Amino acid sequence: MTDEEFLQQVLDEQTLASDSQEHADLLAEHDRIAALLESELEDSRPSIELGGSLAKGTIVRASYDLDSICYFDNDDNGSGETLKEIREAVEEALRTEYKIEGKRSAIKLVGRLAGELRFPVDVVPGRYVDESREDVFLHQADGEKERLKTNLKKHIEHISGSGQLDIIKLAKVWKLRSDIEIKTFVLELVAIECLKDVSETTLRGRLVEFWTVLRDDMDSISIEDPANPTGNDLADVFGDSEREALSTAATIALDLVDESDWAALFGDLGTESIPSNRAIVSPRALLALGDTSHVKQHDWPVRRGHHQVGVTCSAFTRRGGRRTLDSNGHPVTDGTRFRFEASTDVPPPFDVRWQVVNTGAHAQDENGLRGREFMEARTNTGDPSTGLVHRETAEYTGKHWVECFIIKEGALWARSSAFYVNIISRQRRRTRWRPWRR
């Protein structure tokens, strides 16, 4: 079977046909919601339509939900005069049959009061801006602005008319298997942006181009909301965390393509249902600790006591962003700068030593293994002179760690836990990954 045939079969298996039971269930739930809202909001005339992936044509069997859009005319005050009042009225109506949770601009249905709800549902209330019934204002439960201007028709036209629906569907399956935390709408916009000037027509060629842009040109990718390009800032949903997640996962994807391991990326054919633990090719899951035989053990006498030292880390991206990094958290790409900061209850004066350990084939191949020394803090101008701040820069693919040691009176008074950092280098080619099979 060729790569193209494999990818086409993945698409065939992931397609929810219009005559499928899943498709029928989605439409039936939408009709149920529409009937409920029309009945409960009897003083209004809401327009209730399908939205989301079902309307855009990007729905996949691996993970799907229902988006029901509930819009009111701009002069319809039967359910409330303000956007907040309209939202509250819709919530109250839905509570008569559903268990709900609030989201920023939508109402999430998490279950029925009677019976089973087999898939997630978002109901999005809003009010048309004017008589043209095109642009809509949505109430935002949090954020800097209380209302958001959007346009469902423009969203649908932008996505469905992109010519990339097949790649978007494959990208959604890849997102699940790679455990990428990014909103689907953002992923759709990114895919379209990456492929806007591509002449390649094959599935394989476009996927490789998509991943190559994510790996090599992530910093230059810019997306905008087609419904309100200048008014809706997408920085909150396409920031450094999302960019790093896409770039690291794309680096792994291209390595797996070189190995012709399409099954790792999309699953074996005939298994269209994705396992509940879906992080098959998650960068974090694939980064195992390498050989540590080169790591030097300390020889300080240990002072018995109850003193402690802990380490936190801030990561600074190439784009200038800053975020707190968890130990053994989501991977970052090469060039990311780290600021490790230790805090201790050991009374001063004391000395501080840091041990930085690199593991993995990449560091070994580049003669970059570290861990054979206990070093003084590497600092920048403005850092405290206590030695409790240490600077590093991401370079080698692998799982690495940093430890802090507090030395006083020639003895080890406190030692931190290892702070693990996962790194994917975009410069490293053909890393041999061993995906967990399921």
Which residues in 102-114 are b (16+ Cβ under 10 Å) and which e? eeebbbbbeeeee
Average pLDDT, the chain: 92
pLDDT at position 78 over 80: yes
Question: Pick from 155, 157, 143, 133: which is nearest to 67 by CA?
Answer: 155
Q: In the predicted model, what is the mean pLDDT of residues 107-123?
A: 94
Q: In the predicted model, what is the mean pLDDT of residues 415-425?
A: 96
pLDDT at position 269 over 90: no
Say what the pLDDT of residue 286 is: 81
CB 303 within 8 A of CB 342: no
pLDDT at position 68 over 80: yes
CB 138 within 8 A of CB 102: no
Say what the pLDDT of residue 280 is: 62
Q: In the predicted model, what is the mean pLDDT of residues 381-396?
A: 95
Say what the pLDDT of residue 209 is: 97
Say what the pLDDT of residue 433 is: 72
Q: In the predicted model, what is the mean pLDDT of residues 357-378?
A: 94
Say what the pLDDT of residue 174 is: 94
Q: In the predicted model, what is the mean pLDDT of residues 305-311?
A: 95
Tokens for 316, please give them. 């600074």
pLDDT at position 221 over 90: yes
Q: In the predicted model, what is the mean pLDDT of residues 218-239?
A: 90
pTM for the predicted model, two decimal places: 0.87
Which domains, and CATH codes, for the chain? 3-158 (3.30.460.10), 165-283 (1.10.1410), 309-424 (2.60.40)
Q: Is 398 exposed, middle or buried (0-12, 13-18, 19+ CB in 10 A)?
A: buried
pLDDT band at 438 (very low <50, low <70, confident <90, very high): very low
CB 371 within 8 A of CB 327: no
CB 58 within 8 A of CB 10: no
**Any idea which of 35-49, 220-234, 340-354 has the lowest mean pLDDT?**
220-234
**Any idea which of 77-81, 273-277, 325-329 has the lowest mean pLDDT?**
273-277
Say what the pLDDT of residue 279 is: 46
Q: Is 319 exposed, middle or buried (0-12, 13-18, 19+ CB in 10 A)?
A: exposed
**Any idea which of 74-78, 188-192, 427-431 has the lowest mean pLDDT?**
427-431
Percentage of the residues of the chain whose pLDDT score is greater than 70? 96
Tokens for 199, please give them. 């002449």
pLDDT at position 277 over 50: no
**Any idea which of 97-101, 302-306, 391-395 has the lowest mean pLDDT?**
302-306
Say what the pLDDT of residue 319 is: 84
Alpha-carbon radius of gyration of the chain: 26
* Those residues with Cβ within 8 angstroms of residue 397's Cβ, 6 or more apart along the chain or in another chain: 287, 360, 361, 362, 423, 424, 425, 428, 431
Residue the block writes with tokens 């300080």 = 300
pLDDT at position 144 over 80: no
pLDDT at position 271 over 70: no
Measured from the Cβ of residue 275, the count of other Cβ atoms closer than 10 Å reads: 12
Which residues in 125-161 are b (16+ Cβ under 10 Å) and which e? bbbbeeeeeebbbbbbeeeeeebbbbbbebbbebbee
Q: Is 308 exposed, middle or buried (0-12, 13-18, 19+ CB in 10 A)?
A: middle
Question: Pick from 140, 133, 138, 153: which is nearest to 51 by CA?
Answer: 153
Strand (E) or helix (H) holding 14: helix 3-14
